[in-house]
Amino acid sequence: MKRLTLLTTTVLLLASLASAQAPPAAAPPATPAATPAAAPPAATPLTDADLKGIEAPKAEDRAKGDPAGTITGTVADVPVADPITDKTPKAKGLTLGDLANLGGQNKIAINFVWTLITGFLVMFMQAGFAIVETGLCRAKNANHTMMMNFMVYGVGMLAYWLIGFTIQMGGLGGNGNLGGLVPLSSEYSIQLFGKSFGLFGQNGIFLMHNGTYDVGVMVMFLFQMVFMDTALTIVTGSAAERWKYVAFLVSSFMLGAFIYPLFGNWAWGNGWLANLGGNFGLGKGYCDFAGSGVVHAVGGLSALALAIIVGPRIGKYTRDGKSNALIGHDIVIVLTGCFILAFGWFGFNPGSTLGASTNGNLRISSVAVNTMLAGMAGSFGAMLYMWMRYGKPDASMTGNGLLAGLVAITAPSGFVNPVGSVIIGLIAGVLVCVSVEFVDRVLKVDDPVGAISVHGANGLWGVISVGLFADGKSNYGGSWNAVSGSVTGLFYGDASQLVAQLIGVSTLVGLVFTMVFVVNLAIEAIVGQRVGAKAELEGLDVPEMGQLGYPEFELKSSGVRA
Amino acid sequence: MAGIGIVVTLLGFVITLMSLGMTDSVNARMIMSLVGIAVSFFGIMGLIIPAYNKNAIWRK
């Protein structure tokens, strides 16, 4: 009976969403106004002389303080290029040029502050990933798992500063939101099918090379760096509890220095995927607003490659291939971590406008709402699926459902409407459960935290969903990837956008996975990827890190067994 | 076997890439992209993973 009620609720919810998503009936043609409105009087152009009469608050008034805030932030705060002083009575004083400069700098300042603060939020997601992964692992590996999540931040940043940022963004070719970013203008390209294929950037080594010691470039570096680190920390989950620490360091460095930045360049750095629209007429080119593909699918597919190479944990499968559940040690910190990640996602997606002022960037509100709605729908999708299938609303899978919804909405968040977001999130919530079961029971790939399903499967779903649900209403300065117009998916009339997205998916699955796999095979051959059986059975805290994560806990026998 | 799987996985991407040069039709490109994705997934799930599972620790 309980299952029937849940099933009915789900069907009703889906039906109401489908009806809300249906395109509205054609609106009747607008009736022309009976009488044309009177033409406004011609405006008189403003001149410098008009500014002379604007008075600043008097010094004695300022001295009394400003509890109401009415005389703080006035004409007195406008920087003047040629100020009138006692010694220069004939100076120009405040001019329209001063106001124009102030307007320009204010726009860039707003965008800098927005992008930096959202970048700080994304950085805090590292804490969320750390405790989600640690909570889903057994207590005997807590120190090791936490330490991998901690040091991936430093290793990734070092790799990205040395070379990764250059490869990814060195040929960006400008960004109006952040003041131009003119130094990032050297992209290495080849000719293929008669078109230019951008492969990697060349400016930005050490953030000093060719004029990249630049305030705008610094903002871009910080924001892109924390995104890259998110991709790296996904991998530590799938290989947890048996990954050799040295191998983790080398593998993370290679991913942050070369593999992630390459795909990042193709999608975001003026590379060949971004230019599929301009070169081949495929929609607006590959569109990945905040990184379902660039960040999550790259991380998820890397997680798959690593999980295959290191192999399942001892005790995960019986001799006949039956899967055993190796339960994580702290569901409380798992769900707390999910909340931290959901909070950080408000930096991830809305921050990807790289600005809050002009160029259609007020759409940050829509991006933020889409993000929270998809997360909600994902958690509902997973909870209801697990409840119907197993009779209980599984806590860890509900948390993974929230993350799956957030992962899936990351690429389309800037291009879809709220109803589309809920559908995308709901599908993601179910998809993560089905995928976890498939990876665990059919493929027999051991993924302790579900990273392959949360980030890999749903990252790919997010990329595809842009090609389906983008509603053509967004307008970020009138174009995307240098193709004029708004991103529009199949359901709103543009099938070619879906093709661009599928080419992105194929690149991820066919090329990025292969690169990660081959690089990690080389690491396997040189340093080895997996710890010895004795260390694995004991728990990696002491053999690998020299210290228990919980030294005062008495680990029960069931907790320390294989 | 795993080596063949890697080649097949990469081949899927090549099929998709070739769609850009072989045709201007959106439908044809879509079909080739889907075929490319399917081939890559076969390389991973049908060749690489079974090759590793053949010698997996739980079989010993």
The answer to whether B29 contacts A499, with C-beta atoms less than 8 Å apart, is yes
CA B13, CA B31: separation in Å to the nearest integer?
Answer: 13
Residue in A286, A444, A499, A534 to test binding to B, most B beta-carbons within 10 Å: A499
* Chain A residue with minimum CA distance to B4: A514
Residue A335 parent element (H or E):
helix A331-348
* Chain A residue with minimum CA distance to B15: A506
Interface residue A562 vs chain B (CB under 8 A): no
Backbone angles phi, psi at A311, to 5 degrees: 80, 170
Of A452, A334, A345, A355, nearest in space to A405 by CA: A345
CA B7, CA B43: separation in Å to the nearest integer?
Answer: 8
pLDDT given at position A561: 46
Tens place of pLDDT per residue across chain A (562 aa): 555 555 555 555 555 544 545 444 444 444 444 445 566 667 788 888 888 888 889 989 999 999 999 999 999 999 999 988 888 888 889 999 999 999 999 999 999 999 999 999 999 999 999 999 999 999 999 999 999 999 999 999 999 999 999 999 999 998 999 998 999 999 999 999 999 999 999 999 999 989 999 999 999 999 999 999 999 999 999 999 999 999 999 999 999 999 999 999 999 999 999 999 999 999 999 999 999 999 999 999 999 999 999 999 999 999 999 999 999 999 999 999 999 999 999 999 999 999 999 888 999 999 999 999 999 999 999 999 999 999 999 999 999 999 999 999 999 999 999 999 999 999 999 999 999 999 999 999 999 999 999 999 999 999 999 999 999 999 898 899 999 999 999 999 999 999 999 999 999 999 999 999 999 999 999 999 999 999 999 999 999 999 999 988 766 655 444 4
Q: How far is A466 from chain B (nearest CA, A)?
A: 15
Residue A538 token pair: 């004991």
**pLDDT tens-digit readout, B1-52:** 899 999 999 999 999 999 999 999 999 999 999 999 999 999 999 999 999 9
Interface residue A193 vs chain B (CB under 8 A): yes
Of A308, A316, A505, the CB nearest to B58: A316
Of B16, B20, B34, the CB nearest to A510: B16
Residue A50 token pair: 């008009």
The answer to whether A282 contacts B10, with C-beta atoms less than 8 Å apart, is no
At which residue do the structure tokens 């075929």 appear? B35
Q: How many interface pairs between A and B have CB atoms less than 8 angstroms apart? A: 99
Cβ atoms of A411 and A293 within 8 Å: the answer is yes
How would DSSP label each residue in A347-414?
HHTGGGGS-SSSTTGGGHHHHHHHHHHHHHHHHHHHHHHHHHHHSS--HHHHHHHHHHHHHHHHTTTT
Residue A397 token pair: 């899978």
pLDDT given at position A317: 95
Cα angle B48-A252-A528, degrees, rounded to a multiple of 5: 55
The answer to whether A317 contacts B16, with C-beta atoms less than 8 Å apart, is no
Of A193, A281, A507, the CB nearest to B13: A507
Residue A430 token pair: 């179910």
SS3 A201: strand
Interface residue A386 vs chain B (CB under 8 A): no
Strand partners, A488: A471
Q: How far is B29 from chain A (nearest CA, A)?
A: 7
CA A10, CA A406: separation in Å to the nearest integer?
Answer: 20
CA A432, CA A419: separation in Å to the nearest integer?
Answer: 20
SS3 A24: coil
Cβ atoms of A199 and A271 within 8 Å: the answer is yes
State the burial class of residue A543 (Cβ atoms within 10 Å of its Cβ: 0-12, 13-18, 19+): middle
CA A457, CA A469: separation in Å to the nearest integer?
Answer: 18
The answer to whether B21 contacts A511, with C-beta atoms less than 8 Å apart, is no
Distance of CA A239 to the CA centre of its chain: 22
